[in-house]
Amino acid sequence: MRESGAMLATVLDRLKSQLQAGISTKDIANLARQELGKLGGTPSFLGYQGFPDVICISVNDEVVHGIPRADKILHDGDLVGLDFGVTYRGMITDSAITAVTGGWRNQRERQLVSITEEAMLAGIQEVHDRVRAGDIGAAIEKVLTHHRLGVVRDLVGHGVGHELHEDPNIPNYGRANTGPWLQAGMTIAIEPMATLGGDGVYIADDDWTILTRDGARAAHFEHTVLITVDSAEILTQV
């Protein structure tokens, strides 16, 4: 999983550097496929429950699970969520980032992205042997609500490793000292999703893309982490 995670982080870093106005989300997906192939990994999302591509690319009010399309062209100021999974020697890692195409439209959108990442790191900071899922969720929710961001509750983090989605669920909200106990040696994906509006979401007609109900822009960050005795080891970073 460490090798899988390093591949994943390398590809996401490469994709982020290539975001520019005029490129299509399908162009980005093709680059992800190409770069991962060079590294020797296999895309975990392709064919998963019928998903048609190697990466989820979600733009602006799309929260997650956006399908890459040749006619989906990026423009300056777009918020782009890149959610990618890598399988290597039978083990899976899952990670996501949100980045801007060109320059920021306003300070609030910059804050949305930076605070969502901060919330993910706050959740990771809570991780250790015998932590409870509610401890992680409470830490994430505290950061997001302090900055008046919407907390998407219908989508959660999860166990990951042998399968892309495993038990237990890791919600991005909750109360400390509640939820399932987590143990050292487990690997989980922590992935807050936040909005500039409310928490309501809906599924588009393509049966995959999940958007904010009020049209507010959204951000998504995710790391796969290994729970250790005293903390967490982030597996999806270079």
Q: What is the pLDDT of residues 125-159, one digit of tens each?
A: 999 999 999 999 999 999 999 999 999 999 999 99
Q: Can you give the pTM of this predicted structure? A: 0.97
Q: Nearest CA to 42 among 158, 157, 164, 156?
A: 164
Looking at the chain, the whole-number percentage of residues with pLDDT higher than 70 is 100
- Give tens-digit pLDDT for 160-184: 999 999 999 999 999 999 999 999 9
- Give tens-digit pLDDT for 84-94: 999 999 999 99
DSSP state letter for 41: -
Rounded Cα distance between 200 and 186, Å, is 31
Domains of the chain: 2-234 (3.90.230.10)
Rounded Cα distance between 111 and 149, Å, is 10
Question: What pLDDT is stored for residue 238 in this prediction?
Answer: 86
What's the angle, vertex CA 135, arms to CA 130 and CA 140, rounded to 5? 140
Rounded Cα distance between 114 and 143, Å, is 11
Question: What pLDDT is stored for residue 122 in this prediction?
Answer: 98
pLDDT at 106 over 90: yes
Task: Output b/e per residue, 118-156; b: 16+ Cβ within 10 A.
Answer: bbbbbbbebbbeebbbbbbbbbbbebbeeeebbbbbebb
Looking at the chain, the whole-number percentage of residues with pLDDT higher than 90 is 100
Band of residue 211 on the pLDDT scale cut at 50, 70, 90: very high
Question: What pLDDT is stored for residue 215 in this prediction?
Answer: 98
Question: What pLDDT is stored for residue 185 in this prediction?
Answer: 98
Rounded Cα distance between 131 and 73, Å, is 43
Mean pLDDT value across the chain: 98
Taking residues 13-34, report their average pLDDT: 98
Q: Check the CA dihedral 123-86-205-110 and report its sign.
A: positive
Taking residues 65-70, report their average pLDDT: 98
Rounded Cα distance between 35 and 33, Å, is 6
State both tokens at 164.
């892309």
pLDDT at 123 over 90: yes
Taking residues 187-207, report their average pLDDT: 98
What's the angle, vertex CA 75, arms to CA 65 and CA 73, rounded to 5? 55
